[in-house]
Amino acid sequence: MRFIPIAASLTVALAGLSTGFVAHAQANFAAPPPTPYGVSIGIDAAKKVAAASVVEATKNRWRMAIAVVDTGGHLVYFEKMQDTQTGSVDLAIEKAKTSALFRRPSKLFEDAVAGGGAGLRLLRLTGAIPIDGGVPIIQDGKVVGAVGISGGSGEQDGQTAMAGAAAVK
């Protein structure tokens, strides 16, 4: 019976720590952006996104895999440039899916994880890959899909994805 007060004290202390951690984590992560979803991107617009991405990659002599997904993260169009590493195929799709599902660039997840602390919880966030190269496609102020790029460094992938997403307004 002597252990009950200690156990009760420990429970109260852990609850306090847990509450403090949750409050800290919530303060460090923004709520979903206010950009609403629109009608999902069609094949013609997806091809424009991919073409603009290829232009950017070619200009810089990068070999990239390019994935364009709809608002649900489902593949609409895919292209792999000659000599792109095969490991980039799935990675490009996952980056695009992350950006579509969470309505933000995958770079934001990368930055949060790199910051450590509460940001490390993102490593277990289903459907989110914390690597630069995924960018939402915004048309008429609404998210209509996303583009994911893989094949270069994170920075190169992000730059190429931004060029692709900018092709649709």
Residue 25 has pLDDT above 80, yes or no: no
Angle at CA 116, nearest 5°, toward 113 and 120? 55
**131: pLDDT strictly greater than 50:** yes
Cβ-based neighbours of 7, under 8 Å, separated by 6 or more: none
Give the residue with greater pLDDT, 5 vs 131: 131
Range scoring the smallest mean pLDDT among 18-27, 31-40, 148-157: 18-27
CB-CB contact of 132 with 154 (8 Å): yes
The pTM assigned to this predicted structure is 0.80
Quote the mean pLDDT of the chain.
85
Rounded CA gap, 105 and 119, in Å? 16
pLDDT the model gives residue 102: 93
For the chain, give every domain's residue range: 1-30, 33-165
Q: What is the pLDDT of residue 126?
A: 85
Overall CATH class of domain 33-165: alpha beta
